[in-house]
Copies of this chain bind each other. A is one copy, B any other.
Amino acid sequence: MKVHPRCSYCLLSRVHLEAKLSTDDEELMHKAILGGIEVLREKYMPGMPAAELATPMHRKAYEILNDNDPYIKMKELSNKAAAKVLPIIRSHVYNGHGNDNDLFKRAILAAVIGNYFDYGVMGLDVPIDVFEETFIEHFRRGLDIDDTDRMLDKLSNVVYLADNCGEILIDTLVLEAIKRMGGRITLVVRGAPILNDVTLEDIKDDNIFEMADRVMTTGSNAIGIRFEEAPLELKEALENASLIISKGMANYETLSEENYRPIAYLLKVKCDPVGEDIGANKGSSVAKLLE
């Protein structure tokens, strides 16, 4: 996905959020903004991939703030919130009628809604206490783009690209469904802390490791996957996958610049540029397959 004019100020607002999460020092906040402006000036270019602007923006902010994980408390909060609502979500996924295929489809829907567990995108935050209500509402509404039927025969060797903390717990319902259907799973998490994204560290206390046949990382703290920084094993896994399941906007921004197929993008559309690119309105629940 290419950069949109809106990305410029949205990213600067994220830098400010990171500064506020990291420090009370107003001078340091100004310095983080100044760093963001400097990166904008150096990098912003029409037609560039959006992530090639986002990654250096965040990295500069983290460097200036001298903080390699400003979202750490927010990530813990996300995980706690998700753990709390998981039994309710699980009951919605398992209590419906139908076979394993139906279960898979409901799990996909739940995982897309789980993509709401992402804080800091301007204008579409969901407070924890209204999440459950929101979840049920979105579950009833279903997917706005729904290609799940066409994913069913592609589950033998899935590469699952995780997105946020919290959300990852909801993703386990999809992992479970794939395992029930005999599929093999490669779970991919971020190589180092960035935004609210899940890393190895964030899942070490859960039994998520055991649900996947193998776990690998993106190799760095880049937004989504930055292929110059990704390990060879990840590229091989993507090439050999029967299906890549890509969660969230950051993975979409970077994978949409590549040609790995078949790939299923599962996400909540949280901003207009991504919405325009993927062909859905802001707020939509998307499970889009490209073959």
Name A's B-contacting residues (CB within 8 A): 5-6, 8-10, 12-13, 16, 19, 26-27, 29-30, 32-34, 36-38, 40-41, 44, 46, 123
A33 cross-chain contacts in B, Cβ below 8 A? 5, 8, 44
| Nearest 9 Cβ contacts at the A-B interface | A9-B12, A9-B9, A30-B46, A5-B33, A9-B13, A37-B40, A41-B41, A5-B16, A5-B29
Assembly CA distance A104 to B101 (angstroms): 70
Name the B residues within 8 Å of A8 (CB-CB): 9, 12, 16, 33, 36-37
**Alpha-carbon distance between A38 and B37 when the two chains are bound, in angstroms:** 9
A interface SS class? helix
- Interchain CB contact under 8 A, A34 and B44: yes
- Give every chain B residue within 8 A of A12 (Cβ-Cβ): 8-9, 12
Contact B27 A5 (CB under 8 A): no
* Chain B positions within 8 Å of A36 at CB level: 8
Report the nearest B residue to A31, measured CB to CB: B46
**In the complex, which residue of chain B has the Cβ closest to the Cβ of A40?**
B37
Q: How far is the CB of A20 from chain B (nearest CB, A)?
A: 9
Q: Which residues of B contact A40 (CB under 8 A)?
A: 37, 40-41
A37, closest chain B residue (CB): B40
Instruction: List, in ascending order, chain B residues with CB within 8 A of A37's CB.
Output: 8, 37, 40-41, 44
How close is A37's CB to chain B, nearest CB, in angstroms? 5
State the Cβ distance, A64 to closest chain B Cβ, in Å: 12
| CB of A7 to closest CB in B, whole Å | 9
Residues of chain B within 8 A of A5, CB atoms compared? 16, 19, 29-30, 32-33
Query: Are A16 and B27 in contact, CB atoms less than 8 angstroms apart?
Result: no
Given pairs A8-B16, A34-B44, A37-B44, 11 additional interface contacts (CB within 8 A): A5-B16, A5-B29, A5-B32, A5-B33, A6-B16, A8-B12, A8-B33, A9-B10, A26-B46, A37-B41, A38-B41
